[in-house]
């Protein structure tokens, strides 16, 4: 016998479906920066507020700073697996997973966070590195400014001064550079650096000025070498199912707050904090030694160029035949992305 659905049940069912589609959606965002940091307030909170406003409150973003939802080295996986709806991941913390993206970290590619963010986002937008992010829904990519070398007791002016020093590195690329310069690289997530320095686990670290003030590392070091040998890279990414379940209108809000506009916004914020971090070190009387053009410096150019070549060769050995062309394209994007 053919079953029929009463008009009342059909009406209630339709109302329930509409309520489900239009119900407020809360997105959990995970990142490693402290809640009170400028990075959290001016990038992630600003993004959350923009999304909430443009969705008329239908989208809400709960921010979990300081690794409270997922550890920094598992941030990307947390977005892929749905532990977080949105995560800010450091590509270098997942060794070998984003090899082409990490090319942007190489010395000489960018000189500022704004420029680096533009280069990295352009490579993604034009398909050069997009395949590395297919297991999640990418929002935007960005970088730090140049990372420098900071030490507690040893002033560094030449590669020989790095010999044997235990230096924290954030990624495979940075580790490659430090090894080529004679240091002993130690992998430690950013939030753990402060205690590692206090306990003498490391002699120094690699950080942009921004992170030196955000994570209060300026308090513990006395010497700084401004050698732009490395740039940190990040991706703001979203769980695919969390994105797919949104209505077309809410997807449009997320899409409107993705891509180059927010990459540029993040770059500008990082550039501003870089200035603050350097001023902080100067105010406390630290020594700062600068290498203006390391890739043409007689002492520093050989290890930096060798480290770059080693990394590109290793990618080619892994079958990534596009590695060198991505590197060349990143270099050509410098003028287009110069801020």
- Tell me: pLDDT of 201 over 70: yes
With contact defined as beta carbons under 8 Å apart, do 145 and 227 qualify?
no
**Residue 7 falls within a domain, yes or no?**
no
Could you report the per-residue pLDDT of 221-248, keeping only the tens digit for each?
Answer: 999 999 998 999 999 999 999 999 999 9
**Residue 20 falls within a domain, yes or no?**
no
**Residue 16 falls within a domain, yes or no?**
no
In terms of pLDDT, which residue wins out, 94 or 30?
30
* Residue 292: per-residue pLDDT: 83
Task: Give me the mean pLDDT over the 286-299 stretch.
Answer: 94
One DSSP character per residue, 185-233 reads: EEE--GGGHHHHHHTTS-SEEEE-HHHHHHTTGGGT--EEEEEEEEEEE
Sign, Cα dihedral of 81, 37, 125, 170: negative
Dihedral, 237, 239, 244, 245 alpha carbons, nearest 10? -130
**Residue 4 falls within a domain, yes or no?**
no
Contacts of 285 (CB under 8 A, 6+ apart): none
Query: Pairing relation of β-strands 25-30 and 59-64?
Result: parallel
- Tell me: pLDDT of 148 over 60: yes
Q: What is the CATH number of the domain that holds 311?
A: 3.40.190.170
Task: Give me the mean pLDDT over the 41-49 stretch.
Answer: 98
Q: What is the mean pLDDT of the chain?
A: 92
In terms of pLDDT, which residue wins out, 5 or 106?
106
One DSSP character per residue, 253-302 reads: HHHHTSTHHHHHHHHHHHHHHHHHHHHHHHHTT-EEEE-S-GGG-TTTHH
Q: Tokens for 69, please give them.
A: 């939802």
* Residue 251: per-residue pLDDT: 98
Of 16-30, 116-130, 154-168, the one with minimum mean pLDDT is: 16-30
Dihedral, 278, 282, 283, 285 alpha carbons, nearest 10? 150
**Residue 2 falls within a domain, yes or no?**
no
**Residue 240 falls within a domain, yes or no?**
yes
With contact defined as beta carbons under 8 Å apart, do 189 and 127 qualify?
no
* Residue 334: per-residue pLDDT: 93
∠ Cα 187 208 143 (to 5°): 90
Task: Report which secondary-structure segment, H or E, holds 329.
Answer: helix 323-337
Q: Tokens for 23, please give them.
A: 């119900």
With contact defined as beta carbons under 8 Å apart, do 286 and 129 qualify?
no
* Residue 12: per-residue pLDDT: 35
- Tell me: pLDDT of 192 over 70: yes
Q: Tokens for 141, please give them.
A: 């990519």
Contacts of 161 (CB under 8 A, 6+ apart): 154, 155
* Residue 339: per-residue pLDDT: 59
* Residue 23: per-residue pLDDT: 52
Of 332, 323, 322, 311, nearest to 169 by C-alpha is 311
Residue 120 pLDDT level (bands cut at 50, 70, 90): very high
Task: Give me the mean pLDDT over the 126-131 stretch.
Answer: 98
Of 35-39, 79-83, 137-141, 177-181, the one with minimum mean pLDDT is: 177-181
Residue 6 pLDDT level (bands cut at 50, 70, 90): very low
Residue 171 pLDDT level (bands cut at 50, 70, 90): confident
Number of domains in the chain: 1
- Tell me: pLDDT of 16 over 50: no
Cross-strand bridge partners of residue 224: 150, 288
**Residue 13 falls within a domain, yes or no?**
no
Residue 259 pLDDT level (bands cut at 50, 70, 90): very high
- Tell me: pLDDT of 335 over 70: yes
- Tell me: pLDDT of 205 over 70: yes
Residue 176 pLDDT level (bands cut at 50, 70, 90): confident
Of 110-124, 178-192, 258-272, the one with minimum mean pLDDT is: 178-192
∠ Cα 89 94 100 (to 5°): 90
Quote the domain boundaries for residue 170: 25-337
**Residue 11 falls within a domain, yes or no?**
no
Of 47, 42, 12, nearest to 29 by C-alpha is 47
3-state secondary structure of 52: helix
* Residue 18: per-residue pLDDT: 35
């Amino acid at each position: 016998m053919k079953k029929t659905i009463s008009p009342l049940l059909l009406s209630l069912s339709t109302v329930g479906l509409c309520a489900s589609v239009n119900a407020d959606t809360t997105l959990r965002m995970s990142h490693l920066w402290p809640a009170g940091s400028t990075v959290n307030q001016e990038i992630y909170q600003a993004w959350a507020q923009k999304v909430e406003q443009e969705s008329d409150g239908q989208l809400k973003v709960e921010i979990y700073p300081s690794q409270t939802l997922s550890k920094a080295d598992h941030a990307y996986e947390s977005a892929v697996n749905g532990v977080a709806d949105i995560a800010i991941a450091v590509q270098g913390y997942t060794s070998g997973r984003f090899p082409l993206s990490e090319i942007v970290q190489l010395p000489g590619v960018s000189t500022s966070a704004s420029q680096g963010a533009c280069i990295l986002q352009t490579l993604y937008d034009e398909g050069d590195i997009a395949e590395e992010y297919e297991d999640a829904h990418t929002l935007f990519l960005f970088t730090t400014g140049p990372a420098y070398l900071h030490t507690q007791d040893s002033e560094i002016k030449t590669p020989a001064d790095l010999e044997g020093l235990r230096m924290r590195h954030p990624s495979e690329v940075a580790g490659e550079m430090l090894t080529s310069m004679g240091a002993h690289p130690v992998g430690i997530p950013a939030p753990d650096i402060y205690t590692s320095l206090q306990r003498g686990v490391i002699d120094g670290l690699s950080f942009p000025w921004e992170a030196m003030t955000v994570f209060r590392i300026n308090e513990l070091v006395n010497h700084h070498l401004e050698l732009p040998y490395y740039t940190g890279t990040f991706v703001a990414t979203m769980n695919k199912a969390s994105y797919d379940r949104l209505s077309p209108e809410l997807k449009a809000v997320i899409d409107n707050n993705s891509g180059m506009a927010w990459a540029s916004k993040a770059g500008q914020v990082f550039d501003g904090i870089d200035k603050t971090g350097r001023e902080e070190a100067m105010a406390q009387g630290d020594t700062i030694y600068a290498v203006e053009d390391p890739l043409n410096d007689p002492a520093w150019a050989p290890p930096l160029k060798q480290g770059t070549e080693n990394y590109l060769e290793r990618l080619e050995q892994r079958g990534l035949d596009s590695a060198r062309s991505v590197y060349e394209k990143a270099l050509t994007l410098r003028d287009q992305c110069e801020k």
